[in-house]
Amino acid sequence: MTLLDLTRRVETGMPTYPGDPPVAVESHADFETDGYRVSRLELGTHAGTHVDAPAHTEPDGATLDDFPADDLRFTARAIDCRDAGPRGRIGPDAIPERLEPRVDFLVFRTGWEDEWGTERMADHPALEPETARACADRGLSVGIDALSPDPTGGDGVPAHHAILGAGLLVVENLCGLDALPTDRTFDLYVMPLRVDADGAPARVVADAETGLIRRRDER
């Protein structure tokens, strides 16, 4: 098993979505004073690499605690959308017409992980509403290497409504997507903090070998 960590490190002062709470990792107890170490975390539910539950945008949507662990393991495909450009839109033609029946998650690689913490971070590409609806219609949760699948600072969050409104999940601020295969499926593990909330930071890990093994087995 070759595991790829697609997760941002949680650290003091890390970038956040505009208007979200700042992040702080501070000492609560230390060896010199207390003989042990404990840290205090202050952050919002959408800090760093995180999962949006339906309750994030849907008044009657499910919270993270409604999703058992088995529902947080996916068969994923990565989609290379780096040609979309700043504030570009990713159309439904980016989604392959034919996906393996077991695929239930799409990772959109926009290249915007390289803009993390820069002045251009909020100028990321986003999904066209039709693209998000196509994902929802096919039962596909969505991940992206940017602040949001919707335009940051835009008018509304139609992609969120389409995907979360269908009871699916959105994962934002992924990184390390250059290591993902684009010609086959892979297993994706999305493990947020177990909290009854609208979202939570998550450790997101891909097993890049599983799709290759399946393909060999199917020959």
Give tens-digit pLDDT for 12-43. Answer: 999 999 999 999 999 999 999 999 999 999 99
Cα–Cα distance between 96 and 44 in angstroms, integer?
Answer: 34
Contact 65, 194 (CB under 8 A): yes
Backbone angles phi, psi at 7, to 5 degrees: -115, 135
In this structure, which amino acid lies at residue 24? A
What is the model's pLDDT at position 1? 64
pLDDT at 2 over 90: no
In this structure, which amino acid lies at residue 147? L
Structure token pair of residue 105: 């998650």
HEC string for 97-158: CCCCCCCCEEEEECCHHHHCCCCCHHHCCEECHHHHHHHHHCCCEEEECCCCCCCCCCCCCH
Taken in order 102, 125, 167, 53, the sign of the CA dihedral is positive
Contact 90, 81 (CB under 8 A): yes
Q: Say what percent of the chain tops pLDDT 70.
A: 95
Tell me the pLDDT tens digit for each residue of 205-218.
999 886 544 544 45
What is the model's pLDDT at position 31? 97
Residue corresponding to tokens 């990772």: 107
Cα–Cα distance between 181 and 168 in angstroms, integer?
Answer: 23
For the chain, domains (ranges, CATH) are: 4-207 (3.50.30.50)
Tell me the pLDDT tens digit for each residue of 135-161.
999 999 999 999 999 999 988 999 999
Query: Which pTM value belongs to this model?
Result: 0.94
Residue corresponding to tokens 């892979």: 186
